[in-house]
Amino acid sequence: MSQKKTEPNGCGCANIPFSLILVIVGGGYGLFTQRGNFDISKFLPQNQQVTIPILNSTPIVAATPTPIQTIVPPLISSPIGATTPTPVVSTPTNISPTPQPTLIKTILPPKTPSAQTPWQKKVIRGIYLSRYQVTNNADEQTIRQRVRYYHKQGFNTIIHGVWGNGCTMYNSQVMQKTLGLQSCPNLFQDQWLNWLIDEAHKQGMQVHAYFEKGIKIDKNSPIFDLAIARKWIVPGIDKTYSGIDHYVLDVEIPEVANLFENILVEFVKKYPKIDAVQWDDYLGYHAELPGKVDRTSKLTAFVKQMIGGMKQANLNVSFDICHHNPYWAKRYFAADWEQWNVDRVFIQAYNDANFQEELNYVKNSAGIAITETQFHRLQELVNNPEIKSVLVFPISGKPEATASNVNSLITKSGSLP
């Protein structure tokens, strides 16, 4: 009798080969460990794809947001003890180098110069020095110290004699050729004027060459006899100033006119750094000369000729005069200087009479010239802004004492610091 087939009990796992079990377990483990590199969704239809976090761990990348930067306002001074919060700045991935602190340069305001006093505001604060100041062979040290002294006394211009009584106080080839004399007979060093100009310019001062006595000479002139012999003298005696008789060289004579022009041209070439030349009221004919001849037009033509020659030789030099007011100069000296085309005119006011009337002319000129006899008016002149310049003529013959006196008077009046 045949036996009945028995059905297996259970799940039947015992009947599965053991090798197959190993394959399934190993594959599952590999799938789990490589889930980041294995995209199972590609084996599924498009409409059935889902995101399985375990099997597909690649994050969905959103648009990178723009970093937000916080702008730090300028620091505001906080009360002592207050805590200043530090702002948080969100920066991009690429971090810039830490900026260096900005160095703040402290700029000091320019120094304001002290206000000028009325005396310092004068264009020219001048003092006259006679040509005899350089006689007796005054050396370089003496000349330079003298300049510094007048600068210390508050002057900015020295008006120094270089000609007088018919001769030069420097060596002149024109004089040698025309008159047989190289200069005045006084002893002086050849470089004295160069030293004077150099030191004055170092001190910020000017030097004006003073042609003392102009076209007049006296009997002590080294050319007096020659002038008489050549008939260069205007007939009569000029008694403009008491105590001395003067004789006027006649500039209507071409030889005389040429002599003065050549002297002036030579001078501005020899001393090209001179700031100005100045002539005074001795550039004129006194009205009381005999004959009552009107020499006004002739004198005007002569001065224009002289100025023209000088300007051609050195255009930088100023031609100045220190003369009487225009009415007085023309009426009593045949000097119609308003027609001369000079660069600057200073009004002589050595006579205290009619002083206030003279000031009306001074206000329309480059300035005024006074002597010690007008020192009681010095403060008035200094404080008057319409008086552009003040020149001091030491009539006492003691310029150093005169300069010191001026400085003391101005200091007391408060016109100097």
In a domain, 395, yes or no: yes
Question: What does the pLDDT read at residue 22?
Answer: 53
pLDDT (tens digit, 9 = 90+) per residue, 246-281? 999 999 999 999 999 999 999 999 999 999 999 999
Q: How far apart are CA 274 and CA 291, in angstroms?
A: 40
Confidence of residue 182 (pLDDT cuts 50, 70, 90): very high
In a domain, 82, yes or no: no
Site of tokens 């270089």 = 162
Question: What does the pLDDT read at residue 101?
Answer: 55
Domain count for the chain: 1
Question: What does the pLDDT read at residue 42?
Answer: 46
Q: How far apart are CA 164 and CA 42, in angstroms?
A: 126
pLDDT (tens digit, 9 = 90+) per residue, 137-180? 999 999 999 999 999 999 999 999 999 999 999 999 999 999 99
In a domain, 293, yes or no: yes
Distances (CA, A) of 12 to 7, 8, 9, 271, 278: 11, 7, 7, 139, 145
Which of 317, 217, 224 has the alpha carbon at shortest distance from 267? 317
In a domain, 230, yes or no: no
- CATH code for the domain in which residue 375 is found: 3.20.20.80
Count CA within 13 A, CB hemisphere, residue 255: 10
Question: What does the pLDDT read at residue 108?
Answer: 61
Question: What does the pLDDT read at residue 110?
Answer: 63
In a domain, 271, yes or no: yes
Domain around 333: 125-212+254-413
pLDDT (tens digit, 9 = 90+) per residue, 333-389? 999 999 999 999 999 999 888 999 999 999 999 999 999 999 999 999 999 999 999
Q: Which residues contact 212 (CB under 8 A, 6 or more apart)?
A: 130, 131, 161, 163, 164, 165, 280, 282
Site of tokens 């080294």 = 222
In a domain, 194, yes or no: yes
Question: What does the pLDDT read at residue 76?
Answer: 39
3-class secondary structure per residue, the chain: CCCCCCCCCCCCHHHCCHHHHHHHHHHHHHHHHCCCCCCHHHHCCHHHCCCCCCCCCCCCCCCCCCCCCCCCCCCCCCCCCCCCCCCCCCCCCCCCCCCCCCCCCCCCCCCCCCCCCCCCCCCCEEEEECHHHHCCCCCHHHHHHHHHHHHHCCCCEEEEEEEECCEECCCCHHHHHHHCCCCCCCCCCCCHHHHHHHHHHHCCCEEEEEECCCCEECCCCCCHHHHHHCCCECCCCECCCCCCCEEEECCCCHHHHHHHHHHHHHHHHHCCCCCEEEEECCCCCCCCCCCCCCCHHHHHHHHHHHHHHHHHHCCCCEEEEEECCHHHHHHHHCCCHHHCCCCEEEEECCCCCCHHHHHHHHCCCCEEEECHHHHHHHHHHHCCCCCCCEEECCCCCCHHHHHHHHHHHHHHHCCCC
pLDDT of residue 2 exceeding 80, the answer is no
Mean pLDDT score across all residues of the chain: 82
In a domain, 234, yes or no: no
In a domain, 26, yes or no: no
